[in-house]
Homo-oligomer: A and B are copies of this chain.
């Protein structure tokens, strides 16, 4: 049951398209205090809190304070309060069990046992919001109800579940060709090369640097012959430059965000001084979306939207002030306080909160200050793209994922988990975000494998891949000035080929699970507690996940480890994919195990009376035969799998012909119905 409680008059987010009528009951569970502008809840000693989408820390979010404020935050540390997304959905599980969604476009905090261990306090910046209270039969049921409420998640083309390679600093078409050639020559599967900002002409959206990437349409065509797709980045900020048509047209039409007095708000990002398209203005959004045509026309079929929190390096005005003020320090003795103030001037240029109070959106004719609707910006940018694709290429699925997001955006694109680091701890963070994001509707997701910032190592990349092969978005991505981390840079080519090859063998299953989770408003990845609510230890497990109905995964997240502890809530079959191609199977009893996992092994755990379909593999998604399958199974009486299979590119999602049932009996006979 979902009840909607209305507080004040919210600024519309369109997270929910069909709203239930406002509930006049008094709000259950939560204490609501208009004086302190907050909702509070007394948690039981062992209550768990699930949700909050893209965030730091555990699957169980208890013990910290989180701020819903889309942030360009490259340090995904446990003391951060915000990452790129604002996902105001959580589930309390314990003494009482219920879900909450706060539909509110401004900044709010969730103090979940930070100030007081047993207290949860939710504090919005003002008192205009809708609160949805969701009760259900189970954690999973609560999620499903919520997901129905917010609408069907974005569906990626099937090729987008292939393996992609990216680096901030692929500086030319030839460098891209070299990446492709190295993968193909070494028989390491590859479907995509992502283009970071360097393909553009001086970081101008919807331009191509003709010197370094001449004739992009030809390059796209050439790579398609290799079954590789180019996926370029699009940034939120539009360069301020006379003669640049996107800038000029946007200015002429008044589509950029403005200061209160109506003058342009100039914020700097990659190109320096830039304008922020008013993504919250429907007309401007349509206009921005139409710009993607420039790249669609060149044969591009996928994009990633970046810097759309929006990130702001500096504003024209603030930079000027800071430079002036720094001049006044000339000849001074800077002690502790003065020195910190001095360095703070420069550190505070980047993404300063004050900027968000300095510009306005035009929402249906009303001027709304940005901070009140901050969390919608990336959402509406991606919606601009998603709605444009429906207009421009209605019969085709276009790959789209974003950095910033709000619930509602899940209908238009996926997200990647942002600018993580080459840290072992970020394998685990990747794992922990998966179920939380799935709860909030983000199914096409994954982290930058190997880590974006800082230097990776071969063993880190191998272990991370062993998780990454399960995530719908599987991308190796690294920042400029870090160690090169294309897999062919390392010695253990066989190991990487094995891991990425296994991804392609798993594709029929992963795509089927992804589609079923979308169409059934379900989670592809779940905490163990969702599937084993009666098992008190299941709620303790923060480094394993359920995948589909079939599998439990438990990647190794530590260096120099020959294995890891795994908790089995029931008897399962351990399946080990070894680098030499062999597959070992072993039944393990319920309980705690130390499971050895060699550096290039992949282990997974198959539940009783379930099966796992495998393809024969291939070098790219289109080479995979989704019908010639082999099976791994753990049959006690009868293993049944509901297999979703379509052409992977058209939009006829709900056709029942896409579903078949695969049955394996105790004799090993396979029946397909």
Contacts and interface: CB of A to CB of B under 8 A. Distances in A.
Interface of A: 46, 48, 57-58, 60, 62-64, 77-79, 113-114, 116-117, 197, 202-203, 268, 270-273, 313-314, 319-320, 323-324, 326-327, 329-331, 333-336, 338-339, 342-343, 346-347, 349-350, 421-425, 454-455, 457-460, 491-492, 537, 540, 542, 558-563, 565, 567, 592-594
Residue among A272, A350, A425, A592 having the largest count of chain B Cβ atoms under 10 Å: A272
Contact of A116 (B116, B314, B491, B559): B491
A592 B327 CA distance: 63
Nearest to A481: B340
A405 to B, nearest CB: 24
Interface on chain A toward B: helix, strand, loop, or mixed SS?
A: loop
A152 to B, nearest CB: 33
A334 B268 contact: yes
Contact of A79 (B333, B343, B421): B421
A459 B334 contact: no
B334 A454 contact: no
B327 A273 contact: no
Given A349-B343, A565-B592, A333 B272 contact: yes
Listed residue (A114, A327, A335, A457) with the most chain B CB atoms within 10 angstroms of its CB: A335
Nearest to A77: B423
B333 A273 contact: yes
Nearest to A328: B323
A58 B460 CA distance: 14
Contacts of A334: 268, 272, 313-314, 319
Nearest to A322: B326
Contact of A58 (B273, B323, B540, B560): B560
A458 B117 contact: yes
Which 5 A-B residue pairs are closest in the complex by CB-CB distance?
A: A272-B335, A272-B333, A79-B454, A346-B346, A63-B559
Contacts of A202: 335
Contacts of A559: 57-58, 60, 62-64
Contacts of A567: 594
B323 A62 contact: no
A340 to B, nearest CB: 9
Contact of A335 (B270, B320, B323, B492): B270
A202 B567 CA distance: 56
A310 B276 CA distance: 45
A333 B114 CA distance: 42
Given A272-B333, A343-B350, A592-B592, 18 more contacts: A62-B560, A63-B457, A78-B423, A78-B425, A79-B421, A79-B454, A116-B491, A203-B336, A268-B333, A268-B339, A270-B335, A271-B336, A272-B338, A273-B333, A313-B339, A314-B339, A319-B334, A592-B593
